[in-house]
Amino acid sequence: MKTSYILKNGRVIDPSRGIDRKMDIGVREGKIVSPSKIKDADVIDLKGLVVAPGFIDMHVHLRQPGKTDSETVRTGTRAAAAGGFTKVVAMPNTSPPTDNPGTIELVKRIAKDEAVVKVLLCGCISKNQEGKEMTGIGSLKKAGVVALTDDGKCVQNHELMRHVLEYSKSFGLPILDHCEDEKLGSGGMMHEGTWSVLLGLRGIPAASEEIVVARDIILAEMIDWKIHFQHISTSGSVRMIKDARKRGVKVTAEVTPHHIALTDEEIKHFDTNYKMNPPLRSEEHRRSLIEGLKDGTITVIATDHAPHTETEKLVEFDYAPFGIVGLETAVPVCMTELYHKKHLTLSKLISKFTVGPAEILGLKTGLAEGSVADITIIDPSLKHKIDASSFFTKSRNTPFDGCEVRGKAMATIVAGNIVYSCIAGIPGIVAHR
């Protein structure tokens, strides 16, 4: 591996420092240095490409331990590298779930041996994700988790959620919440609206998300601590979060690429690759999510990468599991839908993958001298077709297969190591397909 090199002629965009200009960056022994300090270094010409701080995906299901037929730490982190992500935050709904230090240690050891990008871990809010009893938050903090979540499930007990928030505050751990009232959403297959009526499928109303968002805002204000809303999908959620943030309540939110690119009309094909939770909503909700990104209400884009085997998805719509893969499609889909359609500047879009998640998780980001050389290199204009058959993830459950997109992650650098590259003449650990 190259230990010293210069990234030359790239357009450097570092939202953490307000930088957007052509400049060279030196990398030596895993750190960013001035190019003048590197003698006889290899030069990598990045003319026409964008150099950004390493992208962070704070919502990823790596499935290991447990469902290794659909994903592993090895395949999932290779997919992350190919997608331009230098860090991923692994969700705890594995088998067994990461609700104790022993399972956390197991995943850390697997990641140390198999991962090509940095894997950060979440601990469960409740034991076995049952929503009945709080986990040992102090022991999870000591084991190294960066946040707490029961993602995939939502704590319905308000008193328990209050106590979790109080304890998480004392240990400095943010709460990441999948907001869903289980009674309102029970048995739902898609968004409750015109298309659910036309298709005869039981709907999941927007209110099932919004009721819990309202609950969490009240608790966050009461305890004065951080709650991050995962994969929000409704205009009502955006409205409430915007109001809460104006009042100084410590809440943040993420949106997924599929919720800003697709609507519930797609379900008319009964393709299970369009089935996810929260479901694809109506055009009105989709536009509200984009407005939330534009005005700063939503500070994070995360994939909710949820791999499932072909066998699991090749069933009737009612019986298929929720979720799609997203690590390798996030950058091209967001570049196409948000940058090229002029909703966000390139700097603002990059901030949703860098500054936004870093601030929530207490991580460092940016390309200042002395920083760890975690770098994402993008071609913002490259036109190509998404090809699921070339994915590094074990699973292929994506609605974007065959879509024409514009923009691509060209290389991913982790601590100075080029782990993925599709730039001619620049090899990476993960070979480009």
Residue 13: strand pairing partners: 20
What dihedral do alpha carbons 179, 352, 290, 377 form, nearest 10°?
-130
Hey, is 336 helix, strand or coil? Answer: helix
332 prior amide bond cis, ω within 30 = no
CA distances from 224 to 94, 168, 194, 219, 240 (A): 30, 11, 39, 8, 17
d(CA 21, CA 209): 41
What dihedral do alpha carbons 43, 49, 51, 56 form, nearest 10°?
-130
What is the enclosing helix (H) or strand (E) of 86? strand 85-90
Of the candidates 399, 426, 388, 365, the residue with the CA atom closest to the CA atom of residue 13:
365
Are 307 and 395 spatial neighbours (Cβ–Cβ below 8 Å)?
Answer: yes
Strand residue runs (E) in 297-354: 300-301
> Would you call 224 a catalytic residue per the annotation?
no
d(CA 284, CA 288): 6
**Considering Cα of 64, then 144, then 298, then 11, what sign does the dihedral take?**
negative
d(CA 46, CA 360): 31
Pick the catalytic residue: 14, 177, 264, 304?
304
Q: Which two tokens stand for residue 420?
A: 């993925």
Residues labelled catalytic: 304
